[in-house]
Amino acid sequence: MIKQIIFAAVLLLTLGILSYSFYRIYQLFKLTRPAFKIADTGKRLNKLFVVAFGQSKIFRWPYTGLLHALVFWGFVVITIGSLEMVVDGLLGTHRALGVLGPVYDIIIGSGDVFGAIVLLAILVFIIRRLFLNIKRFKGVEIKKKSKQDAILALTMIFLLMVSLLGMNLGYYGLAVSESNIEGIYPVSAFLFGLLPEGMSYSQLYMIHEVNWWAHIILIFLFANILPYSKHFHVFTSLPNVYLSRLTPIGKMNTMQDVKAEVEAMMNPDAASEPPPEELGSFGVSDGEHITWKNYLDSLSCTQCGRCTSVCPANQTGKKLSPRKIMVDTRARMKERGYQLIKEGKDATDGKMLINDYITEEELWACTTCNACVIECPININQPELILEMRRYLVLEQAKAPGEISMMLTNIENNGAPWQYSPEDRMKWAE
């Protein structure tokens, strides 16, 4: 009973802090603009199963991709075991899901094997981060905190797997001595064979209990660190894939206010919706102009750098890094959002997402090739934000590189991007 009470108190504390963190993030979502209606459930589920659960994009990098996919699948299976621990902890039961019989054997058996696989994969990731000079892990947007985040998360996952295997090992030893075993434990049974012979019941009990508590407390700690780290994607990547943009890659968003205004002017009877009384601002210049999907993208970015590594602008030495667009958007939203919440909608700190975080040079370096979108393992759309920021520069600030300004002027004056008068169009025929 004491164990149940302590467990319930720890769980309550965990959920309380986690709810507060999620509430703070929800407050920032409330500041964002609408994106799209969430329809097409079938297509979205298909994306979820292929891209998220199937990890289809991650395999473009075969070796590290396979390791990442194994870690993801491992987490999915191990999470079921963690839920069982919560039930056991609260109700004082023992292996509550054992009633599932053979299904339970498969879940626990694969969790035990994945525990070892994830442990090895994480060791490889730690070695890669600490000792190998990998270009993808570098960039102006990768700050010291981000590197510390990565090492902290990897260390915690490593300890989670050690405690999982320790717990299984202790349980296996106890269960064998009582001839009453639920689930199968291929790795832990092997590890048990390596222990010195003649371990007492109380020693095995201690191994199990210490690792059980260590494992569950690490899970609770990890969950509460995630909202403040770059690893928040553990929570958001599945929803982000489900909520992928379903419009063709590269299609620019229509400005609905302008569309309604033009429709009302051209053909008021056929207008799909009434024109707005007042046109809002065009494009994105700061945190409050982004859509909920842009913000979800930025929260979900794992900072893996796959997008930047295929970006032709970045690869040819330009300042643009699509990963930086996501990192900067998240950082600015946090700074600007809480300021707006605290001081009201007219508050200003003299900064903007454009210029103070993302420069015009970066924005105009984008070729809109969409290689970053294709590469991103969780379907983030970086060019959408880039184009919206360009939209702000052109429509609100009348700012564009010389060639584009000239082209726009020509379209305005000549009805074509060239400098020639429309009357001269047929001259080529002569």
- HSE, side-chain direction, 13 A CA sphere, residue 375: 21
Residue 60 DSSP label = G
213 is written with which tokens? 């508590």
Cβ 303 to ligand SF4 shortest distance, Å: 5
Q: Is 303 in the site for ligand SF4 (CB under 6 A)?
A: yes
Least distance in angstroms from the C-beta of 310 to ligand SF4: 6
Stretch that binds ligand SF4, among 29-37, 218-226, 312-320, 331-339 (CB under 6 A): 312-320
- Phi, psi for residue 282 in degrees, rounded to 5: -95, 140
In whole angstroms, the minimum distance from the beta carbon of 406 to ligand SF4 comes to 22
Give the footprint of ligand SF4 on residues 273-302 (CB under 6 A): 301-302
Which has the closest alpha carbon to 259: 275, 280, 282? 275
Q: Which is nearer to ligand SF4, 121 or 219 (CB)?
A: 121
- Binding-site residue total for ligand SF4 (CB under 6 A)? 27
320 counts as binding ligand SF4 under rule CB under 6 A: yes
Closer CB to ligand SF4, 16 or 401, in the complex: 401
**Residue 358 phi, psi (nearest 5):** -115, 125
d(CA 122, CA 115): 11
CB of 133 to ligand SF4, least distance (A): 19
Q: Are 386 and 366 in contact (CB under 8 A)?
A: yes
Backbone angles phi, psi at 277, to 5 degrees: -65, -35
CB of 327 to ligand SF4, least distance (A): 8
Q: Which is nearer to ligand SF4, 215 or 230 (CB)?
A: 230
- Report the nearest approach of ligand SF4 to the CB of residue 92 (Å): 42
Which residues, numbered 349-388, are part of the site for ligand SF4 (CB under 6 A)?
Answer: 366-372, 375-376, 378, 380, 382-383
Spatial distance between the Cα atoms of 9 and 257, rounded to a whole number of angstroms: 51
Other Cβ atoms less than 10 A from the Cβ of 302: the count is: 21
Return the range that interacts with ligand SF4 (CB under 6 A); candidates 9-17, 23-31, 322-330, 339-347.
322-330
Residue 326 near ligand SF4 by CB under 6 A: yes
Site map 4..33 versus ligand SF4, x via CB under 6 A: ------------------------------
Half-sphere exposure (Cβ direction) of 197: Cα atoms closer than 13 Å:
0
Residue 338 buriedness (CB in 10 A; 0-12 / 13-18 / 19+) = middle
Minimum Å gap between C-beta 329 and ligand SF4 is 10
Q: Which residues, 383 to 402, sit near ligand SF4 by CB under 6 A?
A: 383
139 binds ligand SF4 (CB under 6 A): no
The Cα 30–Cα 24 span in angstroms is 10
Q: Which of 222, 86, 206, 208 is nearest to 153 (CA)?
A: 222
Other C-beta atoms closer than 10 Å to the C-beta of 414 total 16
Which parts of this chain interact with ligand SF4 (CB under 6 A)?
A: 301-307, 311-313, 320, 322-323, 326, 366-372, 375-376, 378, 380, 382-383
